[in-house]
């Protein structure tokens, strides 16, 4: 394969809701470019893009596929993304390396949930967008209504480049306003018959053409001068104005297609080749140090790994975009994130599961390599000349759904953990870890479907049955007042015995607190706890009642009880304990005696110090259609949410709330049900806060029952 130069490369991401026709469009693009000789179909399970077992079973994409096609001597890299928001990580990473997004819109259903959600991701990524109204051959296809919805939802910068003559059954004709020609497609699609616009469409087309010219001229000062001078623009000038408007996101062109019948697809490719920006025409990308990377082949090489996958018989595949310089086969590179050296033994251009070896790739191109030693998604690869540059990593959303997972056969737990860790390497929005605190393996992701597909992978491909269940809540325990206690540990069973007596006063810890003055403080240890908060030990012993060598053992005993709080077994935090008296035995006192005495003295004091349970509170932002605000607010209030404020975000409303984690179990499923999938949300840990009294009573009772069952 020839080496395409930066100006000959276009990078697009196919985005949109489920069933909008992204995979079918990708298949038709490959066919039009001569990459494949026969078009596959999703329902026939033979498309280039959807080749993974889960995609063949479900007949929709769950992972982004990297593809390419050719048009007008240009290489067009395509990333076909999933339509369900549970797999939003694939869309976000695709938008990071694509220079233009192709938003597929179902011409029968109009603006759908998936259209709205992916539009928000393009806003965040500041990506140029082209809309393709697809499925115009369906019986209820309504182009005019779809355009009305698009303008209402996405603004008046929606700009028609084409319109269909006969949308609905039998659709085969498009009026192209850029060319001012009629395109009529044969049965089965392919190359259209190009003719002058017929008389019955002439007035409509000319009116729309004049509107288009004015729109394009208004987005570019140089074009505006030409327009005032000449009264029109040439097709070449229109393409130039389009490119400027796309980069600045002041124009969102609309094209027509029926990807399944290969109608309009070739023209979409021509439009991409002629009117969308090349990689070196985009604003550039920043490194973490603030250095701007312009897509220049003469600069030192920098590439970003935006996707990782693991394939049978091949191993780990790393997909990258070259942001500067060029990469050659067998090139040695530096990964500054992991401080490792990597050799790119082989380079490939990718079409789904098909790979074609190449010897070189230049700035702006997208490719893949295999078997890197220590590289993962979001890692940078640099030449030796700029070894320390780190490309600003892709920001993936926080998890929105969590479940505890265990193998049905306990002996398989370690295998399951290993499999899920490998899955998380491929999908950064999937997070797996064992919580020592909760004593559970916790799997986190973007939604119930997201986690269920991980379960499918473990059970279907790895043949290990697993279970999901509600994860425990990481409560915290603390105290609200001072309390004293004494505990004597005494054990005699022949020979040396055990003896230790500890007198202790505990009190709440607060930053800037006034120290107690009841006992003299002769030594102090302050510990920053791994799980948050502090533990402070004050040595208030006078007259050697307890030898100093036993103080670490007392601290160890208290720490053991801090790790398994007296109320619910949760971590305790923010406590000061003062050891002010005690007794020793000249023979029987030892470290284990004082560890046990300290532990039990702490437990007794804790129960009398106004103990309280704290629960994790999360900041939650819900983006919701205005007509669903009331229902979403009611549901949140039923979850003990505190509404902190509301704001508008485009045509949506944003609800900002603080919500206990205990009330967020399966919230993504509930929110989708309430809003028919039109709302989305994100959540981030905020703080710990005291649980209400009635809930604390329930938690204490549940823990007591659990303790009885374990006895």
Tens of pLDDT, residue by residue over 105-163, are: 999 999 998 899 999 999 999 999 999 999 999 999 999 999 999 999 999 999 999 99
Residue pair 99/74 in contact by the 8 Å Cβ criterion = no
361 phi and psi angles, rounded to 5 deg: -140, 140
Question: How high is the pLDDT of residue 710?
Answer: 59
Question: How high is the pLDDT of residue 310?
Answer: 84
Strand 354-358 with 347-351, pairing: antiparallel
Q: What angle do CA 348, 354, 355 make, to 5 degrees?
A: 15
What is the secondary structure of 553-621 as a DSSP string?
HHHHHHHHHHHS-TTTSPEE-SEEEEEEEEE--TTT--HHHHHHHHHHHHHHHHHTS--EEEEEEEEEE
User: Percentages helix, strand, coil for the chain, rounded to the nearest 5?
Assistant: 35, 30, 35
Question: How high is the pLDDT of residue 657?
Answer: 96
- Distance separating alpha carbons of residues 135 and 670, to the nearest angstrom: 31
List C-alpha distances in Å: 310 to 313, 460, 582. Answer: 9, 16, 62
Residues with Cβ < 8 Å from 643, sequence gap 6 or more? Answer: 633, 636, 637, 655, 656, 657
- Ranges of the chain whose pLDDT falls below 70: 313, 494-495, 709-711
Residue pair 77/99 in contact by the 8 Å Cβ criterion = no
- Distance separating alpha carbons of residues 597 and 548, to the nearest angstrom: 15
User: pLDDT of 641-698, one tens digit each?
Assistant: 999 999 987 778 999 999 999 999 989 989 999 998 888 899 999 999 999 999 999 9
- Distance separating alpha carbons of residues 366 and 77, to the nearest angstrom: 7
Question: How high is the pLDDT of residue 239?
Answer: 85
Residue pair 377/307 in contact by the 8 Å Cβ criterion = yes
In this structure, the chain runs to a length of: 711
Question: How high is the pLDDT of residue 228?
Answer: 80
Question: How high is the pLDDT of residue 222?
Answer: 78
Task: Report which of 121, 613, 669, 699 is spatially closest to residue 402, judged by C-alpha positions.
Answer: 669
Domains detected in the chain = 6-201+252-281 (3.40.50.300), 290-386 (2.40.30.10), 401-472 (3.30.70.870), 477-610 (3.30.230.10), 613-694 (3.30.70.240)
Task: Report which of 160, 162, 140, 165 is spatially closest to residue 150, judged by C-alpha positions.
Answer: 160
Cα dihedral 35, 38, 41, 47 sign: negative
- Distance separating alpha carbons of residues 353 and 93, to the nearest angstrom: 19
Question: How high is the pLDDT of residue 676?
Answer: 86
Residue 349: both structure tokens together: 């251009």
456: left (phi over 0), alpha (psi -120 to 50) or beta: alpha
Cα dihedral 446, 448, 450, 454 sign: positive
- Distance separating alpha carbons of residues 595 and 603, to the nearest angstrom: 12
- Distance separating alpha carbons of residues 8 and 247, to the nearest angstrom: 17
Residue 608: both structure tokens together: 């009398």
- Distance separating alpha carbons of residues 551 and 537, to the nearest angstrom: 9
The helix (run of H) or strand (run of E) holding residue 355 is strand 354-358
Residue pair 595/603 in contact by the 8 Å Cβ criterion = no
What residues form DSSP beta bridges with 75? 9, 70
- Distance separating alpha carbons of residues 362 and 476, to the nearest angstrom: 54
List C-alpha distances in Å: 323 to 14, 443, 525, 551. Answer: 20, 34, 51, 59
Residue 119: both structure tokens together: 């539009």
The helix (run of H) or strand (run of E) holding residue 118 is helix 113-125
Residue pair 21/134 in contact by the 8 Å Cβ criterion = yes
Residue pair 542/634 in contact by the 8 Å Cβ criterion = no
DSSP state letter for 263: B
Task: Report which of 71, 68, 80, 52 is spatially closest to residue 368, judged by C-alpha positions.
Answer: 68
Task: Report which of 11, 256, 248 is spatially closest to residue 150, judged by C-alpha positions.
Answer: 256
List C-alpha distances in Å: 653 to 635, 656, 664, 681. Answer: 16, 10, 20, 11
Question: How high is the pLDDT of residue 147?
Answer: 97
Helix (H, G, I), strand (E, B) or coil at 683: strand
List C-alpha distances in Å: 467 to 29, 57, 406. Answer: 42, 21, 6
Burial 631-663 (b: 16+ CB within 10 A, else e): ebbebbeebbbeeeeeeeeeebbebebbbbbbb
Alpha helix stretches (DSSP H) within 139-198: 143-154
Helix (H, G, I), strand (E, B) or coil at 110: strand
- Distance separating alpha carbons of residues 115 and 12, to the nearest angstrom: 17
């Amino acid at each position: 394969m020839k080496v395409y130069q930066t100006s000959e490369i276009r990078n697009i991401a196919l985005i949109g809701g489920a069933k909008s026709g992204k995979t079918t469009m990708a298949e038709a693009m490959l066919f039009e470019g001569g990459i494949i000789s026969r078009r596959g179909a999703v329902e026939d399970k033979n498309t280039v893009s959807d080749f993974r077992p889960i995609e063949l079973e479900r007949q929709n994409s769950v992972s982004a596929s990297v593809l390419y096609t050719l048009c007008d001597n240009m290489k067009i890299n395509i990333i076909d993304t999933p339509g369900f928001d549970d797999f939003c990580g694939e869309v976000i990473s695709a938008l990071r390396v694509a220079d233009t997004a192709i938003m597929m819109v179902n011409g029968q259903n109009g603006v759908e949930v998936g259209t709205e959600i992916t539009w928000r991701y393009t806003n965040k990524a500041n990506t140029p967008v082209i809309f393709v109204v697809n499925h115009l051959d369906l019986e209820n296809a309504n182009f005019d209504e779809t355009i009305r919805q698009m303008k209402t939802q996405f603004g008046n910068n929606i700009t028609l480049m084409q319109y269909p003559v006969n949308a609905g059954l039998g659709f085969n004709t498009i009026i192209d306003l850029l060319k001012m020609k009629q395109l009529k497609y044969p049965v089965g699609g392919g190359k259209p018959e190009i003719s002058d616009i017929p008389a019955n469409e002439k007035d409509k087309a000319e009116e729309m053409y004049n509107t288009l010219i004015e729109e394009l001229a208004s987005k570019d000062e140089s074009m505006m001068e030409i327009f005032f001078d000449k009264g029109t623009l040439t097709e070449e000038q229109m393409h130039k104005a389009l490119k400027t408007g796309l980069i600045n996101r002041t124009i969102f062109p609309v094209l027509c297609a029926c990807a399944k019948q290969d109608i309009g697809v070739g023209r979409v490719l021509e439009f991409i080749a002629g009117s969308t920006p090349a990689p070196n025409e985009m604003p550039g990308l920043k490194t973490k140090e603030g250095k701007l990377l312009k897509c220049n082949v003469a600069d030192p090489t920098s590439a970003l790994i935006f996707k990782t996958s693991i394939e049978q018989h091949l191993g780990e595949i790393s997909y990258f975009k070259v942001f500067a310089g060029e990469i050659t086969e067998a090139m040695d590179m530096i990964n500054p994130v992991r401080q490792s050296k990597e050799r790119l033994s082989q380079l490939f251009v990718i079409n789904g599961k098909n790979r074609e070896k190449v010897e070189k790739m230049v700035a702006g191109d997208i490719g893949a390599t295999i078997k890197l030693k220590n590289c993962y998604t979001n890692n940078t690869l640099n030449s030796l000349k700029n070894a320390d540059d780190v490309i600003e990593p892709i920001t993936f959303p926080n998890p929105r759904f969590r479940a505890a997972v265990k193998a049905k056969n306990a002996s398989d737990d370690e295998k399951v953990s290993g499999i899920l860790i490998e899955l998380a390497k491929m999908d950064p929005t999937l997070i797996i870890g064992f919580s020592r605190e909760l004593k559970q393996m916790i799997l986190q992701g973007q939604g119930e479907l997201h986690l269920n597909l991980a379960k499918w992978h473990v059970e279907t491909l790895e043949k290990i049955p697993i279970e999901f269940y509600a994860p425990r809540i990481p409560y915290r325990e603390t105290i609200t007042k001072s309390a004293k206690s004494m505990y004597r540990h005494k054990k005699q069973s022949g020979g040396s015995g055990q003896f230790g007596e500890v007198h202790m006063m505990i009190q709440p810890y607060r930053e800037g607190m006034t120290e107690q003055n009841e006992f003299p403080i002769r030594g102090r240890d302050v510990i920053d706890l791994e799980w948050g908060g502090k533990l402070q030990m004050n040595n208030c012993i006078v007259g050697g009642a307890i030898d100093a060598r036993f103080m670490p053992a007392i601290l160890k005993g208290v720490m053991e009880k801090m790790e398994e709080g007296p109320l619910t077994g949760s971590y305790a935090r923010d406590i000061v304990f003062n050891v002010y008296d005690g007794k020793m035995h000249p023979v029987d006192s030892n470290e284990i005696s004082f560890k046990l005495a300290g532990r039990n003295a702490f437990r007794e004091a804790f129960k009398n110090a106004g103990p309280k349970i704290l629960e994790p509170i999360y900041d939650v932002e819900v983006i919701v259609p205005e007509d669903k605000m009331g229902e979403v607010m009611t549901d949140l209030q039923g979850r003990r949410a505190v509404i902190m404020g509301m704001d508008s975000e485009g045509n949506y409303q944003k609800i900002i709330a603080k919500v206990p984690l205990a009330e967020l179990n399966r919230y993504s499923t509930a929110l989708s049900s309430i809003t028919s999938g039109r709302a989305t949300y994100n959540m981030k840990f905020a703080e710990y806060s005291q649980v209400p009294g009635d809930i604390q009573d329930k938690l204490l009772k549940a823990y007591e029952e659990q303790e009885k069952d374990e006895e």
